[in-house]
Amino acid sequence: ERMAGHLPTCLKGLDNALCGGIPFGVVTELVGPAGIGKTQFCLKLSLLASLPSSYGGLDGSVIYIDTESKFSSRRMIEIGYNSFPEAFHAEGMAQEMAGRILVLRPTSLSEFTDSLQKIRVSLFQHGVKLLIIDSMAALLAGEGVQGPQRQHSLGWHISFIKSVAEFSRIPIVVTNQVRSQSRDEISHYSFQGIHWAHAVSIRLVFESRSGQRFIKLAKSSLSPPLAFPFNITSSGISL
Ligand code: ATP
Ligand code: MG
């Protein structure tokens, strides 16, 4: 079996910069404005994690936490047929792929954490190769309490998510929407608090400049972030 240290994305330059793709065992955040392609990227990652290895996938299962009911299995299968035609034209593959992606719609952060707590020990053994939370903000928004208590509660849940990534050695990808860059991004992080900044190992910033979409690898505030262009077509996210 192939070494599962990274989940390759469909973007070569990004994979090179990430030393192979989305790393296992840590939390990766996708951040950007509405409609930029965060969910499209998650759908593609889900396919790449669950495709049989003979077609270049990781042959695993995926847990997709769909907090805003934006997951579309129809769109996912469309991306599958167009990106991996050989695989998807094989008998029964579309159904098989759909069966490997478990979509959950928890109604609260606590409900999500409780169910994750029950399965966290067996994630790796059950061949889960990707956990997606799309989006994180919607999950956190449901936490009722206010003020310092709220910060404490969010901090606990966020640390728990990070510990699940470390313990189960699977990649966890979470999305967050910001209205625009810079000012909004700052308010976004102060809203989620310091715990959030510490829990995330890799941040991919999605943005659009002069009609071209980019993913920026914003790992460090010291080095200038690398930007990789992408398009969204019938095959989903592509170069
Ligand atoms: P939000 O923060 O609101 O969830 P998002 O970043 O998740 O936004 P996506 O839903 O991933 O955004 O991207 C939506 C965009 O994907 C659409 O605006 C459209 O440009 C593109 N798109 C969706 N389906 C197709 C398709 N079949 N063909 C081409 N482009 C598509
Ligand atoms: Mg989305």
Contacts of 161 (CB under 8 A, 6+ apart): 27, 116, 133, 172, 174, 199
Whose alpha carbon is nearest atom 9 of ligand 1? 37
Q: What are phi and psi of 68, to 5 degrees?
A: -120, 15
* Paired tokens of 122: 């067996």
Whose alpha carbon is nearest atom 22 of ligand 1? 232
The tens digit of pLDDT for each residue in 132-164 reads 999 988 888 777 667 778 778 888 888 999 999
Separation of CA 206 and ligand 1 centre (Å): 12
The H helix count followed by the E strand count for the chain is 10, 11
The tens digit of pLDDT for each residue in 211-229 reads 999 999 986 555 678 999 9
> Given its phi and psi angles, is residue 53 left (phi above 0), alpha (psi -120 to 50 degrees) or beta?
alpha
Whose alpha carbon is nearest atom 4 of ligand 1? 34
Please state the rounded mean pLDDT for residues 188-202: 72
Q: Which ligand 1 atom minimizes the distance to the CA of 41?
A: 11
**Residue list, ligand 1 pocket, CB within 6 Å:** 32, 34-40, 70, 177, 232-234
Work out the angle at residue 93's Cα, subtended by the Cα atoms of residues 90 and 94, and round it to the nearest 5 degrees.
Answer: 120
Candidate from 74-78, 134-138, 184-188 with smallest mean pLDDT: 184-188
Q: Report pTM.
A: 0.93
Mean residue pLDDT across the chain:
88
The tens digit of pLDDT for each residue in 14-28 reads 999 999 999 999 999
Decide: 141 and 152 in contact? Cβ < 8 Å: no
Q: Which ligand 1 atom minimizes the distance to the CA of 30?
A: 6
Please give the ipTM for the structure prediction. Answer: 0.99
